[in-house]
Amino acid sequence: MGTEQKVAVITGASQGFGAALVKAYRDLNYRVIANSRSIKPSKDSDVLAIAGDVADPKTADRIVQDGLARFGRIDTLINNAGIFIAKPLVDYTEEDYASMLATNLGGFFRVTKRVAAEMLKQGSGHIVQITTSLIDHANSNVPSVLASITKGGLNAATNPGDRIRKKGRSGLTLSLPRHEDADARSRNT
């Protein structure tokens, strides 16, 4: 991949795991495109904050267009933005359903398809989903079927057999692209 400074997109970056990931990637000398609805501009010139709802296609467009205009490349995407609402199935509201679907699945789809297109042009890239171990290990003390459905969709999309490398308990790394020639190149980066 050469010596050019790498760039990571991190969604849900204003707090929690996402904010910690921004710091961790900066410590690795990555430049970072950091998104959340309420995120504030950063004093760090190597962090570009893109405020917006990840479920909105226009936010995904800005993440990629403004990110490329500022940093010129995208090497890693971490789909971290997510909503977790723990309730028994019968208590979920239509609003719970709509918001979890929009953020957890819609956000993944809109950002990933745009970022993956750029990675395919580059010939390399990594996409990481932050999901939940509750998908595979349901816990009656934490009833959360909507989290399992929506985060489980990300696991399903990130499951092309031997192209997966497990990352911790709740995330997956997918070597992109799946195109054979480019996949060989990505293994060499």
Ligand X SMILES: NC(=O)c1ccc[n+]([C@@H]2O[C@H](COP(=O)([O-])OP(=O)(O)OC[C@H]3O[C@@H](n4cnc5c(N)ncnc54)[C@H](OP(=O)(O)O)[C@@H]3O)[C@@H](O)[C@H]2O)c1
Residues in contact with ligand X by CB under 6 A are 11-18, 35-39, 53-55, 80-84, 103, 107, 130, 132, 170
Of 63, 66, 68, 97, the closest CA to residue 80 belongs to 63
CB of 48 to ligand X, least distance (A): 15
CB of 32 to ligand X, least distance (A): 13
CB of 187 to ligand X, least distance (A): 28
Residue among 47 and 55 whose Cβ is closer to ligand X: 55
Q: Positive or negative, the Cα torsion across 95, 12, 170, 178?
A: positive
Q: Is 29 exposed, middle or buried (0-12, 13-18, 19+ CB in 10 A)?
A: exposed
CB of 114 to ligand X, least distance (A): 15
CB of 4 to ligand X, least distance (A): 28
Residue among 80 and 186 whose Cβ is closer to ligand X: 80
CA distance 118 to 102: 23
Residue among 84 and 97 whose Cβ is closer to ligand X: 84
Q: 178 is written with which tokens?
A: 């799946």
CA distance 111 to 60: 5
Return the SS3 of 41: coil
Of 96, 50, 95, the closest CA to residue 77 belongs to 50
Residue among 154 and 182 whose Cβ is closer to ligand X: 154
Residue among 21 and 182 whose Cβ is closer to ligand X: 21
